[in-house]
């Protein structure tokens, strides 16, 4: 029961902050709202005993990526006249919502109607760093290596992109 209440609060907080994120005028507001959403999602991970994921989410997303975004926003020194003039922003949001709504509603309807829960009892130490690490380096070695190459490529790409203009 306690878990359900925490889940409800966290879910509400996530949704609200996400909506704030997509509707805020200035990017700095969006970024701050997004941090809230990310931390809430990290807490939701913790709620299902995914402790390692909880840590990763906070360190990489809320820590690294979001601070990078904030750094860029500050670095570019964006003034109000640089921001796009979005007069019809709210109408756009409303209209798109109407288009997307059926998609979400149908999916939710399907989830509610179907019985997808297995409720297997997890073993001791599920979701901690040892469990995830063992899985990662036994079953998922190849994707792991591929991702390392991808990161290298992205690094080189980012450097060349930024460098060419100067």
Partner 1 sequence: MLQEYMILSIILFCIGVVGLISRRNIIVIYMSIELLLNAVNLSLVAISADMADASAQVMSIIIIAIAASEAALFMSLFVVLFKKKSSLDANIFDMLGSKR
Partner 2 sequence: MSDSLILNILLLSPLLSATLIFLLNISISGVKQYIYTSLALAGSGISALLALYLSYFSYFENQVFTSHLFTWLSIEDFIVEVALKADALSSFMILFIAPVSFLIHVYASGYMNKDKSYGRFFAYFNLFIFFMFLLVLADNPIIMFIGWEGVGLTSYALIGFYFEDIKNTYAGNKAFIANRVGDFGFLSALMLLFLEIGSGGMSFDAILSNIGQIEAPMLSLIAFLLFVGAMGKSAQIPLFVWLPDAMAGPTPVSALIHAATMVTAGVYMVARFAPLYNLTFDVSLFIAYIGAFSALFAAIVATRQFDIKKILAYSTMSQLGFMFMALGVGAYSTALFHMFTHAFFKALLFMGAGAIIVAFHHKQDIRELRGIKESMPALFVMILIATLTISAIPPLSAFFSKDAIMSALYASGHAPLFLMAFTASLLTVFYMFRLVFVVFYSNTKQVGEANSKSMLYPMTVLTIFSIFAGLLNMPEIFGGNLNMSNWLDIADKKFIVTHFDELMLMSINTLAIIGVIFYTYKRYAYTNTIDKESEHTLVANKFYIDEIYSAVVVKPLYALSILFDKHISNNLIDNTIHNLALYYEKLGLLFSGFENGNVRNYALYMLVGAVSGFIYLYVLLRAAL
Q: Report yes or no: 121 and 46 within 8 Å, Cβ to Cβ.
A: no
Binder of partner 2 out of 2, 3, 102, 161 (CB under 8 A): 102
If one asks whether residue 100 binds partner 2 (CB under 8 A), the answer comes out as yes
CB of 16 to partner 2, least distance (A): 23
Q: Report 38-77 residues binding partner 1 (CB under 8 A).
A: 38, 41, 44-45, 48-50, 52-53, 56-57, 60-61, 64-65, 68-69, 72-73, 75-76
Q: Which does 9 bind (CB under 5 to 8 A by kind): partner 2, partner 1, none?
A: none
Q: Report 110-129 residues binding partner 1 (CB under 8 A).
A: 111-112, 116-123, 126-127
For 101, what's the count of Cα atoms within 13 Å in the CB-facing half-sphere?
A: 7
Q: Residue 97 burial by CB count (10 A; 0-12/13-18/19+): exposed, middle or buried? A: exposed
**Which region among 36-44, 70-78, 98-106, 141-149 touches partner 2 (by CB under 8 A)?**
98-106
If one asks whether residue 9 binds partner 1 (CB under 8 A), the answer comes out as no
* Alpha carbons 86 and 83: distance in angstroms, whole number: 9
* 3-state per-residue secondary structure call for 75-97: HHCCCHHHCCCCCCHHHHHHHHH
* Alpha carbons 46 and 52: distance in angstroms, whole number: 8
If one asks whether residue 5 binds partner 1 (CB under 8 A), the answer comes out as no
């Amino acid at each position: 029961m306690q878990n359900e209440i925490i889940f409800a609060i966290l879910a509400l907080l996530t949704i609200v902050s996400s909506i704030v994120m997509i509707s805020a005028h200035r990017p700095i507001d969006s970024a701050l709202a997004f941090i809230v959403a990310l931390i809430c999602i990290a807490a939701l991970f913790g709620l299902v005993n995914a402790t390692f994921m909880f840590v990763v989410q906070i360190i990489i997303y809320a820590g690294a990526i979001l601070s990078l975004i904030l750094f860029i926003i500050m670095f570019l020194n964006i003034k109000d006249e640089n921001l796009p003039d979005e007069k019809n922003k709210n109408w756009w949001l409303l209209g798109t919502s109407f288009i997307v709504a059926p998609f979400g509603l149908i999916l939710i309807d399907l989830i509610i109607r179907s019985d997808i829960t297995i409720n297997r009892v997890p073993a001791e130490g599920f979701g901690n760093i040892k469990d995830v690490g063992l899985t990662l380096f036994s079953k998922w070695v190849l994707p792991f290596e591929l991702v390392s190459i991808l990161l290298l490529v992205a690094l080189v790409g980012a450097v060349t992109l930024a460098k060419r203009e100067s």
